[in-house]
Amino acid sequence: MSLKVVVERACVTGTLALLAACTVGESVAARPLPVVMPLVETEPVATRGDAADDPAIWIDPADPAGSLIIGTNKKRGLDVYRLDGSLHQTLEVGRMNNVDLRDGFGIAGRSLTLVAASDRDRNVIALFALDPATRRLAMLPDSGLDTGLTEIYGLCMYEDRDRGRTYVFVNDKDGRYQQHELSVTAEGRVVGRIVREFRLGSQPEGCAADDELGLLYVGEEGVGFYRMGAAPTAPTEPIPVDTVAAGRLVADVEGIAILTRPGGRGYIVVSSQGDNSYAVYERQPPNAYVGSFRVGDNEQARVDGASETDGLEVTSAKLPPPFSSGLLVVQDGANTRPRAAQNFKLVPWDEVERAIPR
Ligand code: CA
Ligand code: CA
Ligand code: CA
Ligand code: CA
Protein backbone atom coordinates (compact mmCIF):
# COMPACT_ATOMS: atom_id res chain seq x y z
CA MET A 1 0.00 0.00 0.00
CA SER A 2 1.45 3.34 -0.99
CA LEU A 3 1.89 6.20 1.44
CA LYS A 4 -0.80 8.06 -0.41
CA VAL A 5 -3.32 5.28 0.16
CA VAL A 6 -2.40 5.09 3.85
CA VAL A 7 -2.94 8.84 4.18
CA GLU A 8 -6.24 8.62 2.28
CA ARG A 9 -7.39 5.85 4.62
CA ALA A 10 -6.38 7.95 7.65
CA CYS A 11 -8.59 10.73 6.38
CA VAL A 12 -11.61 8.44 6.63
CA THR A 13 -11.46 8.26 10.42
CA GLY A 14 -11.86 12.00 10.53
CA THR A 15 -10.36 13.00 13.89
CA LEU A 16 -8.94 16.48 13.86
CA ALA A 17 -5.38 15.25 14.37
CA LEU A 18 -5.68 12.79 11.53
CA LEU A 19 -7.32 15.33 9.26
CA ALA A 20 -4.18 17.38 9.72
CA ALA A 21 -2.24 14.28 8.68
CA CYS A 22 -4.42 14.00 5.57
CA THR A 23 -3.06 17.29 4.43
CA VAL A 24 0.54 16.06 4.27
CA GLY A 25 1.47 15.57 0.64
CA GLU A 26 4.30 13.28 -0.34
CA SER A 27 6.46 16.03 -1.74
CA VAL A 28 5.39 19.09 0.18
CA ALA A 29 5.50 20.24 3.75
CA ALA A 30 2.42 19.88 5.91
CA ARG A 31 -0.18 22.49 5.08
CA PRO A 32 -3.37 22.09 7.06
CA LEU A 33 -6.34 23.02 4.91
CA PRO A 34 -10.09 22.84 5.36
CA VAL A 35 -11.66 19.64 4.02
CA VAL A 36 -14.99 19.59 2.18
CA MET A 37 -16.98 16.47 1.35
CA PRO A 38 -18.25 15.18 -1.97
CA LEU A 39 -21.86 14.01 -1.82
CA VAL A 40 -22.07 12.19 -5.13
CA GLU A 41 -19.61 10.51 -7.49
CA THR A 42 -20.06 9.51 -11.10
CA GLU A 43 -19.85 5.97 -12.37
CA PRO A 44 -16.22 4.99 -12.98
CA VAL A 45 -14.97 5.44 -16.54
CA ALA A 46 -14.69 2.30 -18.67
CA THR A 47 -10.89 2.48 -18.84
CA ARG A 48 -8.34 1.69 -16.13
CA GLY A 49 -5.40 3.92 -15.31
CA ASP A 50 -5.28 7.68 -15.82
CA ALA A 51 -8.37 8.10 -18.00
CA ALA A 52 -11.01 10.48 -16.64
CA ASP A 53 -9.77 14.01 -17.14
CA ASP A 54 -12.00 17.05 -17.53
CA PRO A 55 -15.68 17.89 -16.96
CA ALA A 56 -18.18 20.41 -18.29
CA ILE A 57 -21.60 21.14 -16.76
CA TRP A 58 -24.76 21.64 -18.82
CA ILE A 59 -27.67 23.33 -17.07
CA ASP A 60 -31.04 22.18 -18.37
CA PRO A 61 -32.98 25.46 -18.67
CA ALA A 62 -36.35 23.68 -18.72
CA ASP A 63 -35.69 21.43 -15.75
CA PRO A 64 -32.53 22.02 -13.66
CA ALA A 65 -32.89 18.49 -12.25
CA GLY A 66 -32.16 17.23 -15.76
CA SER A 67 -28.77 18.99 -15.90
CA LEU A 68 -25.85 16.89 -17.10
CA ILE A 69 -22.12 16.55 -16.58
CA ILE A 70 -20.00 15.80 -19.63
CA GLY A 71 -16.67 14.22 -18.73
CA THR A 72 -13.74 13.23 -20.91
CA ASN A 73 -12.32 9.74 -20.87
CA LYS A 74 -9.03 10.72 -22.43
CA LYS A 75 -8.46 7.19 -23.69
CA ARG A 76 -11.87 6.67 -25.25
CA GLY A 77 -14.29 9.58 -25.69
CA LEU A 78 -16.96 11.43 -23.76
CA ASP A 79 -19.28 10.23 -21.00
CA VAL A 80 -22.42 12.08 -19.96
CA TYR A 81 -23.69 11.78 -16.37
CA ARG A 82 -26.82 12.79 -14.52
CA LEU A 83 -26.64 14.77 -11.26
CA ASP A 84 -26.93 11.53 -9.26
CA GLY A 85 -23.72 10.32 -10.95
CA SER A 86 -25.39 7.69 -13.12
CA LEU A 87 -24.32 7.30 -16.73
CA HIS A 88 -26.64 8.97 -19.25
CA GLN A 89 -24.71 8.49 -22.49
CA THR A 90 -21.32 7.32 -23.79
CA LEU A 91 -19.68 8.46 -27.01
CA GLU A 92 -16.68 6.39 -28.09
CA VAL A 93 -15.20 9.03 -30.31
CA GLY A 94 -11.49 8.86 -29.57
CA ARG A 95 -9.08 10.44 -27.12
CA MET A 96 -10.89 13.59 -25.95
CA ASN A 97 -8.71 15.41 -23.42
CA ASN A 98 -10.59 18.55 -22.31
CA VAL A 99 -14.20 19.57 -22.88
CA ASP A 100 -16.21 22.80 -22.61
CA LEU A 101 -19.60 24.08 -23.79
CA ARG A 102 -21.68 27.17 -24.53
CA ASP A 103 -25.47 27.39 -24.80
CA GLY A 104 -27.57 29.08 -27.45
CA PHE A 105 -25.42 28.36 -30.50
CA GLY A 106 -27.47 28.71 -33.67
CA ILE A 107 -27.18 25.99 -36.30
CA ALA A 108 -29.69 25.78 -39.16
CA GLY A 109 -32.29 27.80 -37.28
CA ARG A 110 -32.00 25.76 -34.08
CA SER A 111 -30.52 26.86 -30.78
CA LEU A 112 -28.20 24.14 -29.50
CA THR A 113 -25.55 23.76 -26.84
CA LEU A 114 -22.21 23.59 -28.60
CA VAL A 115 -19.69 21.25 -26.97
CA ALA A 116 -16.01 21.33 -27.95
CA ALA A 117 -13.31 18.81 -27.03
CA SER A 118 -9.58 18.56 -27.75
CA ASP A 119 -9.16 15.39 -29.82
CA ARG A 120 -5.69 13.90 -29.29
CA ASP A 121 -6.21 11.22 -31.95
CA ARG A 122 -6.64 13.74 -34.75
CA ASN A 123 -5.16 16.94 -33.23
CA VAL A 124 -8.42 18.70 -34.00
CA ILE A 125 -11.17 20.47 -32.09
CA ALA A 126 -14.03 17.97 -32.08
CA LEU A 127 -17.47 19.57 -32.03
CA PHE A 128 -20.70 18.17 -30.65
CA ALA A 129 -24.22 19.48 -30.15
CA LEU A 130 -26.33 18.81 -27.11
CA ASP A 131 -29.98 19.16 -28.03
CA PRO A 132 -31.78 20.70 -25.02
CA ALA A 133 -35.04 19.10 -26.15
CA THR A 134 -33.75 15.51 -26.23
CA ARG A 135 -30.79 15.93 -23.80
CA ARG A 136 -28.70 13.83 -26.19
CA LEU A 137 -25.16 14.68 -27.23
CA ALA A 138 -24.08 14.01 -30.82
CA MET A 139 -20.91 14.72 -32.78
CA LEU A 140 -21.51 17.25 -35.54
CA PRO A 141 -21.18 15.91 -39.10
CA ASP A 142 -17.57 15.98 -40.37
CA SER A 143 -16.64 17.67 -37.14
CA GLY A 144 -13.01 18.44 -36.55
CA LEU A 145 -11.54 21.90 -36.75
CA ASP A 146 -7.96 21.60 -37.96
CA THR A 147 -5.36 23.11 -35.66
CA GLY A 148 -2.02 22.16 -37.21
CA LEU A 149 -0.89 21.39 -33.64
CA THR A 150 1.25 18.32 -33.02
CA GLU A 151 0.07 17.50 -29.46
CA ILE A 152 -3.27 19.17 -28.81
CA TYR A 153 -3.97 19.27 -25.07
CA GLY A 154 -6.06 21.81 -23.13
CA LEU A 155 -9.25 23.48 -24.35
CA CYS A 156 -11.79 26.05 -23.21
CA MET A 157 -14.49 28.15 -24.83
CA TYR A 158 -15.30 31.86 -24.79
CA GLU A 159 -18.47 33.64 -25.85
CA ASP A 160 -18.46 37.35 -26.59
CA ARG A 161 -22.15 37.98 -25.97
CA ASP A 162 -22.08 41.62 -27.11
CA ARG A 163 -20.79 40.64 -30.54
CA GLY A 164 -22.48 37.25 -30.68
CA ARG A 165 -19.20 35.43 -31.32
CA THR A 166 -18.04 32.09 -29.97
CA TYR A 167 -14.40 31.07 -29.68
CA VAL A 168 -12.42 27.96 -28.77
CA PHE A 169 -8.99 28.21 -27.15
CA VAL A 170 -6.71 25.20 -27.55
CA ASN A 171 -3.12 24.62 -26.54
CA ASP A 172 -0.31 22.28 -27.49
CA LYS A 173 1.95 20.57 -24.95
CA ASP A 174 4.79 22.68 -26.38
CA GLY A 175 3.16 25.88 -25.01
CA ARG A 176 1.44 27.13 -28.17
CA TYR A 177 -2.05 28.60 -27.81
CA GLN A 178 -4.61 29.19 -30.56
CA GLN A 179 -7.89 31.11 -30.49
CA HIS A 180 -10.41 29.85 -33.07
CA GLU A 181 -13.44 31.94 -34.00
CA LEU A 182 -16.43 29.80 -34.95
CA SER A 183 -18.98 30.48 -37.65
CA VAL A 184 -21.66 28.51 -39.45
CA THR A 185 -21.70 28.11 -43.22
CA ALA A 186 -24.84 28.42 -45.34
CA GLU A 187 -24.97 24.61 -45.37
CA GLY A 188 -25.04 24.56 -41.56
CA ARG A 189 -21.44 23.41 -41.06
CA VAL A 190 -19.50 24.84 -38.12
CA VAL A 191 -16.12 26.11 -39.24
CA GLY A 192 -13.25 27.83 -37.44
CA ARG A 193 -10.66 30.47 -38.19
CA ILE A 194 -7.55 31.11 -36.10
CA VAL A 195 -7.77 34.73 -34.95
CA ARG A 196 -4.96 34.87 -32.37
CA GLU A 197 -1.92 32.84 -31.37
CA PHE A 198 0.46 33.13 -28.44
CA ARG A 199 2.78 30.92 -26.45
CA LEU A 200 3.49 30.10 -22.82
CA GLY A 201 6.98 29.20 -21.65
CA SER A 202 6.25 25.55 -20.86
CA GLN A 203 3.46 22.95 -20.92
CA PRO A 204 -0.01 24.46 -20.48
CA GLU A 205 -3.32 22.68 -20.05
CA GLY A 206 -6.12 24.17 -17.95
CA CYS A 207 -7.87 27.31 -19.10
CA ALA A 208 -11.17 29.11 -18.58
CA ALA A 209 -12.75 32.23 -20.08
CA ASP A 210 -14.92 34.71 -18.21
CA ASP A 211 -17.54 35.66 -20.83
CA GLU A 212 -18.94 38.62 -18.89
CA LEU A 213 -15.62 40.19 -17.94
CA GLY A 214 -13.89 39.30 -21.23
CA LEU A 215 -10.97 37.57 -19.50
CA LEU A 216 -9.01 34.40 -20.18
CA TYR A 217 -7.17 32.42 -17.49
CA VAL A 218 -4.43 30.03 -18.61
CA GLY A 219 -2.34 27.64 -16.54
CA GLU A 220 1.29 26.71 -17.07
CA GLU A 221 1.51 23.34 -15.30
CA GLY A 222 4.89 23.72 -13.62
CA VAL A 223 4.75 27.47 -13.03
CA GLY A 224 1.38 28.99 -12.15
CA PHE A 225 -1.51 30.69 -13.94
CA TYR A 226 -2.12 33.93 -15.80
CA ARG A 227 -4.82 36.32 -16.92
CA MET A 228 -5.21 38.13 -20.22
CA GLY A 229 -7.97 39.64 -22.32
CA ALA A 230 -10.12 37.02 -24.07
CA ALA A 231 -10.83 39.16 -27.15
CA PRO A 232 -8.78 38.31 -30.25
CA THR A 233 -7.48 41.89 -30.28
CA ALA A 234 -6.32 41.83 -26.63
CA PRO A 235 -2.59 41.88 -25.78
CA THR A 236 -1.12 38.39 -25.38
CA GLU A 237 1.23 39.35 -22.54
CA PRO A 238 0.14 36.96 -19.75
CA ILE A 239 -0.34 38.70 -16.39
CA PRO A 240 0.67 36.33 -13.55
CA VAL A 241 -2.13 35.71 -11.04
CA ASP A 242 -0.38 33.15 -8.81
CA THR A 243 2.73 31.03 -9.03
CA VAL A 244 4.01 27.73 -7.70
CA ALA A 245 6.93 29.71 -6.29
CA ALA A 246 4.56 31.69 -4.05
CA GLY A 247 3.66 28.43 -2.27
CA ARG A 248 -0.11 28.23 -2.62
CA LEU A 249 -0.08 26.08 -5.76
CA VAL A 250 1.89 22.83 -6.05
CA ALA A 251 2.68 21.62 -9.56
CA ASP A 252 1.02 20.59 -11.69
CA VAL A 253 -1.35 23.53 -11.95
CA GLU A 254 -4.26 21.80 -13.70
CA GLY A 255 -7.97 22.62 -14.14
CA ILE A 256 -9.26 26.19 -13.91
CA ALA A 257 -12.95 27.10 -13.54
CA ILE A 258 -14.99 30.23 -12.84
CA LEU A 259 -17.95 30.51 -10.49
CA THR A 260 -20.01 33.51 -11.64
CA ARG A 261 -22.32 35.57 -9.47
CA PRO A 262 -24.27 38.71 -10.47
CA GLY A 263 -22.40 41.99 -10.60
CA GLY A 264 -19.12 40.44 -11.71
CA ARG A 265 -18.66 38.71 -8.37
CA GLY A 266 -17.61 35.11 -7.90
CA TYR A 267 -14.50 32.97 -7.70
CA ILE A 268 -11.78 31.31 -9.75
CA VAL A 269 -11.04 27.71 -8.68
CA VAL A 270 -7.71 26.11 -9.62
CA SER A 271 -6.56 22.50 -9.16
CA SER A 272 -3.26 22.37 -7.27
CA GLN A 273 -2.60 18.79 -8.30
CA GLY A 274 0.71 18.30 -6.51
CA ASP A 275 -0.79 18.63 -3.03
CA ASN A 276 -4.32 17.39 -3.77
CA SER A 277 -5.84 20.79 -3.07
CA TYR A 278 -7.89 23.51 -4.76
CA ALA A 279 -7.06 27.21 -4.59
CA VAL A 280 -9.80 29.86 -4.69
CA TYR A 281 -9.33 33.44 -5.94
CA GLU A 282 -11.62 36.44 -6.33
CA ARG A 283 -13.20 36.54 -9.77
CA GLN A 284 -12.50 40.24 -10.14
CA PRO A 285 -8.94 41.21 -11.05
CA PRO A 286 -6.43 41.36 -9.55
CA ASN A 287 -7.87 37.96 -8.45
CA ALA A 288 -6.86 38.10 -4.78
CA TYR A 289 -6.22 34.71 -3.19
CA VAL A 290 -9.11 33.69 -0.92
CA GLY A 291 -8.09 30.28 0.43
CA SER A 292 -7.55 26.61 -0.35
CA PHE A 293 -9.33 23.40 0.52
CA ARG A 294 -9.23 19.67 -0.07
CA VAL A 295 -11.98 17.21 -0.98
CA GLY A 296 -11.96 14.49 1.68
CA ASP A 297 -13.73 11.18 2.18
CA ASN A 298 -17.42 11.34 2.96
CA GLU A 299 -17.91 8.37 5.25
CA GLN A 300 -21.67 8.87 5.54
CA ALA A 301 -22.32 9.12 1.80
CA ARG A 302 -19.69 6.41 1.11
CA VAL A 303 -17.93 8.62 -1.42
CA ASP A 304 -14.14 8.85 -1.30
CA GLY A 305 -12.39 12.19 -1.61
CA ALA A 306 -10.59 13.55 -4.64
CA SER A 307 -6.86 13.59 -5.24
CA GLU A 308 -4.47 14.48 -8.07
CA THR A 309 -7.26 16.35 -9.82
CA ASP A 310 -6.82 17.17 -13.50
CA GLY A 311 -9.90 18.99 -14.76
CA LEU A 312 -12.69 20.64 -12.77
CA GLU A 313 -15.77 22.74 -13.43
CA VAL A 314 -18.07 24.82 -11.25
CA THR A 315 -21.48 26.47 -11.60
CA SER A 316 -23.57 28.80 -9.46
CA ALA A 317 -26.77 27.73 -11.22
CA LYS A 318 -29.62 26.87 -8.90
CA LEU A 319 -29.82 23.08 -9.11
CA PRO A 320 -31.98 20.84 -6.95
CA PRO A 321 -30.68 20.09 -3.43
CA PRO A 322 -28.00 19.34 -2.39
CA PHE A 323 -26.59 21.58 -5.14
CA SER A 324 -29.00 24.52 -4.74
CA SER A 325 -26.13 26.94 -4.06
CA GLY A 326 -24.00 25.60 -6.91
CA LEU A 327 -21.93 22.59 -7.87
CA LEU A 328 -18.23 21.85 -8.07
CA VAL A 329 -17.19 18.82 -10.17
CA VAL A 330 -13.61 17.56 -9.84
CA GLN A 331 -11.82 14.66 -11.50
CA ASP A 332 -10.52 12.12 -8.99
CA GLY A 333 -7.18 10.48 -9.73
CA ALA A 334 -7.76 7.57 -7.32
CA ASN A 335 -11.28 6.20 -6.92
CA THR A 336 -10.77 4.16 -3.77
CA ARG A 337 -14.21 3.40 -2.39
CA PRO A 338 -14.70 0.87 -3.79
CA ARG A 339 -11.41 0.59 -5.68
CA ALA A 340 -12.37 1.22 -9.30
CA ALA A 341 -11.45 3.17 -12.41
CA GLN A 342 -11.26 6.96 -12.11
CA ASN A 343 -14.35 9.14 -11.89
CA PHE A 344 -15.63 12.61 -11.00
CA LYS A 345 -16.72 13.84 -7.58
CA LEU A 346 -19.61 16.27 -7.02
CA VAL A 347 -19.30 18.77 -4.17
CA PRO A 348 -22.06 21.21 -3.09
CA TRP A 349 -20.62 24.69 -3.53
CA ASP A 350 -21.93 25.89 -0.15
CA GLU A 351 -19.53 23.37 1.45
CA VAL A 352 -16.67 25.19 -0.24
CA GLU A 353 -18.08 28.61 0.63
CA ARG A 354 -18.24 27.59 4.30
CA ALA A 355 -14.67 26.31 4.23
CA ILE A 356 -12.93 29.30 2.71
CA PRO A 357 -12.47 32.57 4.59
CA ARG A 358 -14.59 35.57 3.58
CA1 CA B 1 -13.75 21.59 -18.95
CA1 CA C 1 -1.98 18.00 -17.22
CA1 CA D 1 -10.47 9.39 -4.35
CA1 CA E 1 -15.71 5.86 -5.18
The ligand with the least distance to the CA atom of 333 is 3
Q: Which residues are within 5 Å of ligand 4 (an ion), measured at CB?
A: 41, 304, 335, 337
Q: Which residues are within 5 Å of ligand 1 (an ion), measured at CB?
A: 54, 56, 100
The amino acid at 316? S
Question: How far is the centre of ligand 3, averaged over its atoms, from the C-alpha of 34 (Å)?
Answer: 17
**Counting Cβ atoms within 10 Å, is residue 261 exposed (0-12), middle (13-18) or buried (19+)?**
exposed
Asked if residue 28 has pLDDT above 70, the reply is no
Question: How far is the centre of ligand 1, averaged over its atoms, from the C-alpha of 248 (Å)?
Answer: 22
For residues 138-145, average pLDDT: 91
Asked if residue 26 has pLDDT above 80, the reply is no
Asked if residue 15 has pLDDT above 50, the reply is no
Phi-psi region at 214: left, alpha or beta (left = phi > 0; alpha = psi -120 to 50): left
> Could you read off the pLDDT of 167-201 as tens digits, one per residue?
999 999 999 999 999 999 999 999 999 999 999 99
Task: Please report, in angstroms and rounded to a whole number, the separation of the first and last CA atoms in the chain.
Answer: 39
Q: How confident is the model at residue 30 (pLDDT cuts 50, 70, 90)?
A: low
Please give the pLDDT value at position 358.
75
For residues 261-275, average pLDDT: 98
Question: How far is the centre of ligand 3, averaged over its atoms, from the C-alpha of 24 (Å)?
Answer: 15
For the chain, how long is the longest CA-to-CA vector? 64
Please give the pLDDT value at position 339.
96
Question: How far is the centre of ligand 1, averaged over its atoms, from the C-alpha of 313 (Å)?
Answer: 6
Bridge partners for 348 per DSSP: 327
Question: How far is the centre of ligand 4, averaged over its atoms, from the C-alpha of 249 (Å)?
Answer: 26
Asked if residue 77 has pLDDT above 60, the reply is yes
Question: How far is the centre of ligand 4, averaged over its atoms, from the C-alpha of 316 (Å)?
Answer: 25
Please give the pLDDT value at position 142.
79
> Could you read off the pLDDT of 97-111 as tens digits, one per residue?
999 999 999 998 999
Asked if residue 121 has pLDDT above 50, the reply is yes
Question: How far is the centre of ligand 1, averaged over its atoms, from the C-alpha of 99 (Å)?
Answer: 4
Question: How far is the centre of ligand 2, averaged over its atoms, from the C-alpha of 205 (Å)?
Answer: 6
Return all residues near 30 (Cβ < 8 A) that are at least 6 apart: 20, 23, 24
Asked if residue 4 has pLDDT above 80, the reply is no
The ligand with the least distance to the CA atom of 314 is 1
Please give the pLDDT value at position 95.
98
The amino acid at 353? E
Asked if residue 340 has pLDDT above 50, the reply is yes
* Average predicted confidence (pLDDT) for the chain: 92
> Could you read off the pLDDT of 211-241 as tens digits, one per residue?
999 999 999 999 999 999 999 999 999 999 9
Using H for helix, E for strand and C for coil, what is the string for the chain?
CCHHHHHHHHHHHCCHHHHHHHCCCCCCCCCCCCEECCCEECCCCCCCCCCEEEEEEECCCCCHHHCEEEEEECCCEEEEEECCCCEEEEECCCCEEEEEEEEEEEECCEEEEEEEEEECCCCEEEEEEEECCCCEEEECCCCCEECCCCCEEEEEEEEECCCCEEEEEEEECCCEEEEEEEEECCCCCEEEEEEEEEECCCCEEEEEEECCCCEEEEEECCCEEEEEECCCCCCCCCEEEEEHHHCCCCCCEEEEEEEECHHHCEEEEEEEHHHCEEEEEECCCCCCEEEEEEECCECCCCECCECCCCCEEEECCCCCCCCCCCEEEEEECCEECCEECCEEEEEEHHHHHHHCCC
The ligand with the least distance to the CA atom of 11 is 3
The amino acid at 219? G
Please give the pLDDT value at position 288.
98
For residues 334-339, average pLDDT: 97
For residues 9-15, average pLDDT: 36
The ligand with the least distance to the CA atom of 332 is 3
In the chain, % of residues over pLDDT 70: 92
The more confident residue out of 31 and 247 is: 247
For residues 275-292, average pLDDT: 98
Identify the weakest region by mean pLDDT among 15-24, 115-124, 257-266: 15-24
Asked if residue 3 has pLDDT above 80, the reply is no
Q: Which residues are within 5 Å of ligand 2 (an ion), measured at CB?
A: 205
